[in-house]
Chains A and B, each alone.
Chain A
Amino acid sequence: MAEETQAIDPDGDPYWQGAAEGELRYRKCGACDASIFYPRSICPKCGATDPDWAVSKGEGSVYACSTVHRAPPAFADNAPYTVLLVDLDEGFRMMGGLVGTEAIAVGDRVTVTFQDGPNGRPAPYFTPA
C-alpha cells in the first residue's frame, strides 16, 4: 500500500495529516452549514464548492456495529474485531474501528483515538466513552 500514500489527493491528504497530528478533521459548508464527511470539494447537500475544514471533538454514538469473524486476508490475524459506524456530535457519520474487544452496542457513547492503521498511517479509531 506504500505507493498509494504517495499519490496526491486534495480531499484526503489534509484529513490524514490531521489524523497524524491527533485531529479528526471534517468539512463544514459555508453556504448551508452542513457537516460534510467524508471530506470532499463540494457540499453533497447544497452543491456549494470549497467547504471549510473543521476539527471534531471526536465524541459520538455508535449507529451500527459488527464484529468480524471471517476477515479479509490482510486482516485475518486480528479477527475477531469490531467495526463501527459512529454518529459524531457535530452531525456527521463515519466508519471506525473499535479499540480492544470490549462489548459494544448500538447507542453506546464512544471517543476518538488515533493509532496506526494497516498501512502504517495513523487513522481514527474509537474507545467506549
Chain B
Amino acid sequence: MDFCACLEIIRNVERTAESQAECAAVLWGKSLSLKKACAIAGVAESRLGVVPDSTVLTLQAEAFAAALADAGLEKSDVDGVLVSGAWGRLPQLQICEYLGIQPKYADSTSVGGASFEFHLGHAAAAIQARLCKVAVILYGSTQRSKQDKYIFQIRNDLGYQYEAPYGLPTPVGAYALAASRHFAEYGTTSEQLADLAVSTRAWAGLNPKAYRRDPLTRDEVLDSGMIASPLHRLDCCLFTDGGGAVVVVSPDVAKTLDKPPVWLLGQGESLSHAQISEMPDLTVTPASESGKRAFEMAGVSHDQIDVTEIYDSFTITVLLTLESLGFCKPGEGGAFLANGRTGPGGEFPLNTNGGGLSYCHPGQYGIFLIIEAVRQLRGECDARQVADAVLALISGTGGVLSSNSTCILGLE
C-alpha cells in the first residue's frame, strides 16, 4: 500500500482495525518523501528591467496569465496560491483578490529571496496531501521604478538594535563580512569572485531578456568601485522591476498537459538566523542542511546534475552556496568559479539566464531560478541551452545568508 492509498483509507473508507494497522506501517515505517509529488507545468516572467507603467499587481497578473498559458491551464483550475509578498499590507489577500481566486490552499512563507524554493516544497506537500491540485507561486516588484528601497533601511528595534549603530548597509554589508571571513580563512581573492561576474555576464549575452548583456572583463569588475570591502559594485546584483509565476500541478494533472512535466525530485529547506552577527559560521550557509535533504530525497549525486541555478545576490553568495551544497570542498569555491569554468562552454553551467547579477533582480530573485531551470530542462533556451539537460539543481538564499531552500528538478 502506498501513501496515497493510506490517505484514501483514512479519509474515505470505513476504517477497520486491519486497515488502520496497515496505514500505521506505511506512515511510520518509512519517512515520507516529496519526490515526484508534483510537477512544474508552466513558468513565465512579466516584463523585466525598468517597467514604469506597472504596479506589483499588474506585473504579477502578467506573469500569472503567461504561466497559465504556458501550462495550458485556466484560471479556474487554480486552487492553491503561494506568495512571498514583501510589497504591501496582507499581500496574499491583495493578489488573490486582484486575480479573482479564492484558493483552498494558501502559503505566505516569506523568508527573503529564497521564499519561492520554499514554496515549491510546500506546494508539493500540499498537493501530496490533496489539499490542492494546481498551485501558483507568484512574485512581483516595482522597486526600480518606484525607488522602493525598503530592504536597505536600517532598522533599530528588537534584535536589530544591536547592529543599528554601526551603519552596515543591508544586505551588501553582511555579505561583505562573510566574504572578508572567507578571504581570511581560505585565501579567496576578489579576482576569483570577479570571474563569476564575468561568466554570468557571458550567459546574459545569450539571453535576450537580460538587463545587462555587454561583455564584461575581470578588470572592469575590480575597477567598478568598492561598496563594502571586499565587494565591488559589480559583485552586487541588479536593482530592477519584474515579476514571475510558476504553475505547480499534481501528477494526475501533469499527465493531461501538452508540455513535458518537470518533476520535483528533491527539496530541502533550512533557516539559520535573521542578522549577520547571529550567523554561526560566516563561511557555511543553511544550504549545507537544505542541500543534504534535497539530494537525499532525489537520490541523485552531485556529478549527475546537468545545470545549476544558484541565487546570486552577490558573487560571494554563489561561492558560499556551492561549497555548502558540497559541489566543492570548503575553501575551494574560489578556484571552482575562476577562469570561466561556470560560463557558456565551461564545465559547470551556472546561472544560465545571466543571474541576478546581469539578467534581473527585483528584490526577491528566487522565482527566476525555477523559471530558468524549467526552461533548460524543456530545451527552450536557444543560444544558452545546456545540451541534453535532464537534471537541474536550484538553490535560493534569502535575507543575509539567512534562509535556504534547494530543489532538484528532473524530466523523469
**Which residues of B132-166 have CB atoms within 8 Å of chain A's CB atoms?**
152, 154, 156-159, 161-166
- Are A83 and B177 CB-contacts (below 8 A) given A69-B229, A94-B277? yes
Q: Is A55's CB within 8 Å of the partner chain B?
A: no
Known A71-B169, A81-B167; judge A107-B226 contact (CB<8 A).
Answer: no
Pick out which of these stretches binds chain A: B8-16, B31-39, B87-95, B178-186.
B178-186
**Once the chains bind, are A106 and B165 in contact (CB under 8 Å)?**
no
Q: Which of A9, A63, A71, A117 contacts B165 (CB 8 A)?
A: A117
A4, A81, A95, A118: which contacts B163 (Cβ < 8 A)? A95
**Contact A74–B157 (Cβ < 8 Å):** no
Query: Complex formed: what's the CA distance from A118 to B156 in Å?
Result: 11
Please report the C-alpha to C-alpha distance between residue A38 and residue B278 in the assembled complex, in whole angstroms.
Answer: 8
Task: Kindly supply a per-residue 1/0 record for chain A positions 85-102, scoring 1 wherever the CB is within 8 Å of any chain B CB and 0 otherwise.
Answer: 100000001111100000
In the bound assembly, the distance between CA atoms of A64 and B175 in angstroms comes to 11
Query: What is the bound-complex CA distance between A97 and B277, given in angstroms?
Result: 13
Interchain pairs with CB closer than 8 A, number:
103
Task: Say whether B184 contacts A67, CB under 8 Å.
Answer: no
Q: Is the CB of A71 within 8 A of B167?
A: yes
Q: Is A129 close to B, CB under 8 A?
A: no
Chain A residues with CB under 8 Å of B178's CB are 64
- List B contacts of A15 (CB < 8 A): 162
Contact A38 B167 (CB under 8 A): no
Query: Looking at chain A, what size class is its interface with the partner chain?
Result: 35 or more
The docked-state distance in angstroms from the alpha carbon of A69 to that of B278 is: 24
A48-70: which residues lie under 8 A (CB-CB) from chain B?
63-70
Other-chain contact of B228, A1, A4, A67 (Cβ < 8 Å): A67
Tell me the interface secondary structure of chain A in the complex.
mixed
Inter-chain contact A66/B156, CB cutoff 8 Å: no
Chain A residues contacting B154 (CB-CB under 8 Å) are 72, 74
- Which of A63, A66, A94 gathers most chain B CB within 10 Å? A66
- Contact B156 A69, beta carbon cutoff 8 Å: no
A6 at the interface (CB under 8 A from B): no
Q: Are B177's CB and A1's CB within 8 A?
A: no
Q: A38-B162, A67-B229 are in contact. Are A72 and B169 (CB under 8 A)?
A: yes
Q: How far is the CA of A112 from the CA of B228 in the complex (A)?
A: 23
Hey, which chain A residues are within 8 Å of B157, CB to CB? 4, 7, 9
Q: Is the CB of B227 within 8 A of A119?
A: no
Of the residues A7, A63, A65, A68, contact of B167 by C-beta under 8 Å: A68
Q: Could you give 11 example pairs across A and B, Cβ below 8 Å? A: A1-B156, A7-B157, A37-B162, A64-B177, A66-B176, A69-B229, A71-B169, A83-B173, A94-B277, A95-B166, A119-B156
Residues on A lying within 8 angstroms of B by beta carbon are 1, 4, 7, 9, 12, 15, 37-38, 63-72, 74-75, 78, 81, 83, 85, 93-97, 105-107, 117-119, 123
18 further contact pairs, Cβ within 8 A, besides A70-B169, A105-B184:
A1-B156, A63-B282, A64-B178, A66-B173, A66-B176, A66-B177, A66-B231, A68-B167, A68-B168, A68-B227, A69-B228, A72-B154, A72-B167, A93-B277, A95-B276, A106-B185, A118-B164, A119-B156
The 10 closest A-B pairs by CB, nearest first: A75-B167, A117-B165, A106-B184, A66-B176, A64-B177, A64-B181, A123-B165, A95-B277, A97-B166, A67-B229
B-side interface residues toward A, CB under 8 Å?
152, 154, 156-159, 161-169, 172-173, 176-181, 183-185, 225-231, 276-278, 282
